[in-house]
Chain A
Amino acid sequence: MKNLSRRGLLKGFAGAAGLMAGSRLGGPLLRNAWAAGEPSHLVFIYLPGGFNAALGGVAAPFVTGNKFGLTATNIMTVGSGVTTDKATMGTLPAFAQQHWFSVGTRHGVSSHTTPDNSNGGGERALTRKGTTSYLTRLASVMGGDSALKAVHLGDYPAYRTQPATGGVSLQRISDLGTAIKALGAGAADPNAPDRAIAGDGVAAAQAISKQQIDANAESLLSVNEAYDASIATFRKPAPKPVTFSEISTAYGLGGATGVTGFASQLAGAEVMIRAADSNVVSVFDSGFVGWDFHQVAGGVSQNMLFSRNRLLGAGSFDDRLTPLKAFMSRMLNLPDRNVVVAITGDFVRVPNGDHGDGVMTAVFGKYVKQGVSFACDGNSRFSGATPGVDALWAGLAAALKVPGNPFGANPHALV
């Protein structure tokens, strides 16, 4: 199964690929979410295929009947109603556990977002609203002066289909070494072009290209937006140094700069927060609906077993938990940044291993309280009162201290 990667499959559908959106230098629509005197950042970690509620913070209801193989001894009580799988999310750093809020969302969708269902599915439900993107919308309302307000780490599929909002769109990062260099966060190179002149140079290139861009406003949209992002990046003063060697060591990348797996994606999230001040960092785990575990043994869903294996790196899976813990340890309690991490997926799994119609999203942040709202029950059902997707993003905006209510009222008391 490992060889059947989502990336590989998607190559076959490349002819129908949508337009990517590059990041643009959009003026802040509101004051940056620096209400606490510090920049805020959302790291939106998406696990395509499904996200067992036990990983999201609701494990206890499944002990009755030992659904998913969960028992009183292999789950742990985190606190304030949060319970989880002891071997995986139960090993997150103590600070993360103390600031873990589980948000229930009933989106009413039980299918996957796939190339042949690109306008439907759980992923689409959680990240898109009609023709707008929650990711770019949040990055836009957060404002600020980042040249790369919304970035994407992963190869599928959000960055292809997330429309820009207010001049801010999702910008894919595929190589950390190049990104660090482009941001001016690496070692100074005396032979490289001066950053300010290069900014004017790319602006001149964009002006030279105007006629073609105008004539190809859709097919060359990514070029035009990339010009804007590049100009903004060059014109920004170089940030505090972020060396790739430090990042490589912290996340065990072995010196490889390519964004090819979960560890490099989280390493990239740290780079983009520290060097680019990105508002929204989208991390999509690779693998074609890689969290879609339907296996059943002895009448018991094996979804937790395989989810656990996928996190721990058992069998053919890569270790995802170690880099997740590294990221949490390094970034969640910074004194001068408000980093909020949301981990979610298409939907929860129901006890027979099939698809639910909502999801329990695990939200972490230094201002996030420990708790649960609108938990699913022991059959993975959500009550009719469970809010929808707007409310999830309203909660995330609250955790990020975004002024106003850009996604409406927040029914989740997570801050």
Chain B
Amino acid sequence: MKTSLTTVSLAALLASSLLACAAEEDALETPQPGASSSSGGTVDPQTLECTQKPQGRTYVDFGGVDLATTRINENIGVNRGRIKPYAVLAGEYTRVLGAAPASLAAQAGSFDVPAPRYFEEPRATGVGISAMYGVSFEGALIVAKAGGKYAAAPDATTAPAECAAFLGKAFSRTPDTQEIDNCATFATTKLAKETNPQRKWAYVFANVLTSTGFLTY
């Protein structure tokens, strides 16, 4: 009896999950019109909101309570982004740079590394982001020094091209125009103080590796 009750409950829970606003596809990069935004969107980000008519049926439990009553839904593409845990960053740096920066290993204290056998949703901190920038710069400088094409400082031609290539590699997708423009603008307007071309490129790549396209999934 216990087993059958459990089965029924799980089936009801599963079925009711179909009430979510829309298909559960990974739409991290494609927010729906009207999606919440902290910087000018139409929906208060603190208020989860479903503006699309739910599909499917409703289910009630044995007490007659609608299983979906207390569920908080929101639209597709909203608030699905999550921060990569510290444990995977070495692999991620290796994927993009060919090796993890040496200083990464000493940065565990900057992250909320969960205790063994526990899970904790990672959260970002200002100190952590600053540490990540330093780690990223270190790794990016090694790459820049190894590549002959980085012997010359970024300019209006090379910056967009290299930004697009590096963004694509770091983000594992084709970057959009806005991302490339932001990357290239920094490369061509914010590095006058730096005289070493390879360090200039290292800054550019460190920016990309400190972006959410690399730090989140």
- Chain A residues in contact with chain B, CB under 8 A? 7-8, 11-12, 14-15, 17, 19-20, 22-23, 147-148, 171-175, 177-179, 181-182, 191-194, 196-198, 200-202, 204-230, 232-234, 257-259
Contact = CB atoms under 8 A, between A and B. Distances in A.
Contact of B212 (A11, A179, A192, A212): A212
Contact of B36 (A15, A178, A211, A218): A218
B114 interface: yes
Given A193-B137, A202-B207, A215-B78, A222 B123 contact: yes
Contact of A215 (B35, B120, B190, B202): B35
B95 interface: no
Interface stretch (B7-15, B38-46, B57-65): B38-46
24 contacts: A17-B120, A20-B125, A171-B127, A175-B127, A205-B207, A205-B208, A210-B178, A210-B182, A211-B31, A211-B178, A212-B81, A212-B213, A213-B39, A215-B79, A217-B38, A217-B39, A219-B82, A221-B45, A223-B83, A225-B124, A226-B129, A227-B126, A229-B125, A259-B109
- Name the 8 nearest CB pairs between A and B, nearest first: A229-B126, A175-B109, A11-B118, A216-B81, A217-B45, A215-B31, A209-B212, A182-B130
Nearest to A8: B115
Nearest to B107: A178
A208 B206 CA distance: 12
Given A181-B131, A196-B193, A198-B133, A23 B213 contact: no
B191 A197 contact: yes
A133 B130 CA distance: 26
Contacts of B190: 197, 200-201, 204
B215 interface: yes
B92 interface: no
Contacts of B81: 212, 215-216, 219-220
B206 A193 contact: yes
- Among B31, B126, B186, the one with the most A-chain Cβ atoms within 10 Å of its Cβ is B126
A64 to B, nearest CB: 46
A211 B39 contact: no
B37 A214 contact: yes
B168 interface: no
Main secondary structure of the interface of B (DSSP, over half): loop
A197 B45 contact: no
Given A8-B118, A204-B183, A174 B125 contact: yes
Interface in B171-217: 176, 178-179, 182-183, 185-186, 190-191, 193-194, 202-203, 206-208, 210-213, 215-216
Given A214-B41, A228-B126, A202 B118 contact: no
Given A182-B131, A201-B206, A11 B186 contact: no
Which of under 10, 10 to 19, 20 to 34, or 35 or more describes the interface residues of B?
A: 35 or more
A178 B183 contact: no
Interface in B101-116: 107, 109-112, 114-115
A12 B190 CA distance: 45
Given A8-B115, A209-B213, A214-B39, 16 more contacts: A14-B120, A178-B127, A204-B182, A205-B210, A211-B31, A217-B36, A218-B79, A219-B79, A220-B212, A220-B216, A226-B128, A226-B129, A228-B126, A229-B127, A232-B126, A258-B109
A210 B46 CA distance: 18
A407 B70 CA distance: 35
A256 B35 CA distance: 45
B138 interface: yes
Contacts of B152: none
A227 B129 contact: yes
A385 B38 CA distance: 43
Contacts of B119: 11, 14-15
Contact of B29 (A15, A22, A215, A221): A215
